[in-house]
Chains A and B, each alone.
Chain A
Amino acid sequence: AAGVIQSPRHLIKEKRETATLKCYPIPRHDTVYWYQQGPGQDPQFLISFYEKMQSDKGSIPDRFSAQQFSDYHSELNMSSLELGDSALYFCASSQGGHAVGNTIYFGEGSWLTVV
């Protein structure tokens, strides 16, 4: 079965550079979530989109932005990168948001290293 696809899988950037992560949800899933997970930490929710509109906002820095496109894929744009942005970034998708009974499924993540 098709899963959530993320690209790139690994990315190395220098401080103050910009990075873009892409996420392709499971077919027919209309909701996309972005999470950041630092070493040894639980996933931190950044932002989510439902039907191409922002549905919830978590601890996403102002330097980051995201959007969901007409084909439901999503991109997370990160600017003015800092060393502390080094983390594993997960995208997840679901059908119908967080309604009872809906489950979110995760992509394999994108490793961002800022040097």
Chain B
Amino acid sequence: QKEVEQNSGPLSVPEGAIASLNCTYSDRGSQSFFWYRQYSGKSPELIMSIYSNGDKEDGRFTAQLNKASQYVSLLIRDSQPSDSATYLCAVSNSNYQLIWGAGTKLIIKP
């Protein structure tokens, strides 16, 4: 079992709908959680960071963290075709190592 797991997708969502991306992690001591967006051939771009339980909103993006259940999710409201990318979940574990999920490919259909 990987330390950080994501559904590889692709996840197909109609334009204007809500895209929901999920990530689970195994190290209960993890404290920092990140969502990165990566377009093909480009570097990962930080979308959201979250450190405490609950929701954190930034524009159309909401990150949700549940440490008891060991999952972190990213919601994208009013999805746009430009949101089509691979979304990488990264978790800083109890050894302060940044562990990456394999990424979920999101496709927004016009």
Contacts and interface: CB of A to CB of B under 8 A. Distances in A.
Interface stretch (A14-22, A40-48, A70-78): A40-48
B110 to A, nearest CB: 25
Given A43-B88, A103-B46, A103-B49, A97 B34 contact: no
B44 A56 contact: no
A97 B96 contact: yes
Interface-centre pick from B45, B51, B92, B101 (highest chain A CB count, 10 A): B92
B4 to A, nearest CB: 9
User: Which secondary structure characterizes the binding site on chain A?
Assistant: loop
Contact of A101 (B46, B51, B100, B102): B51
B41 interface: yes
B43 A109 contact: yes
B10 to A, nearest CB: 12
B102 A42 contact: yes
Contacts of B36: 106
Interface in B1-39: 31-32, 34, 36
Contacts of A105: 46
B43 A106 contact: yes
Contact of A106 (B32, B44, B97, B103): B44
A97 to B, nearest CB: 6
Interface of A: 33, 41-43, 45, 56, 58, 88, 90, 97-109
The 8 A-B pairs at the shortest CB distance, nearest first, are namely: A98-B96, A106-B43, A42-B102, A42-B100, A100-B31, A98-B92, A109-B43, A108-B43
22 contacts: A41-B102, A42-B88, A42-B102, A43-B88, A45-B98, A45-B100, A56-B96, A58-B97, A88-B41, A97-B96, A98-B97, A98-B98, A100-B31, A100-B32, A100-B92, A101-B32, A101-B51, A103-B46, A105-B46, A107-B43, A108-B42, A108-B43
Given A45-B100, A101-B51, A106-B44, 8 more contacts: A42-B100, A45-B98, A56-B97, A88-B41, A98-B96, A98-B98, A101-B32, A103-B46
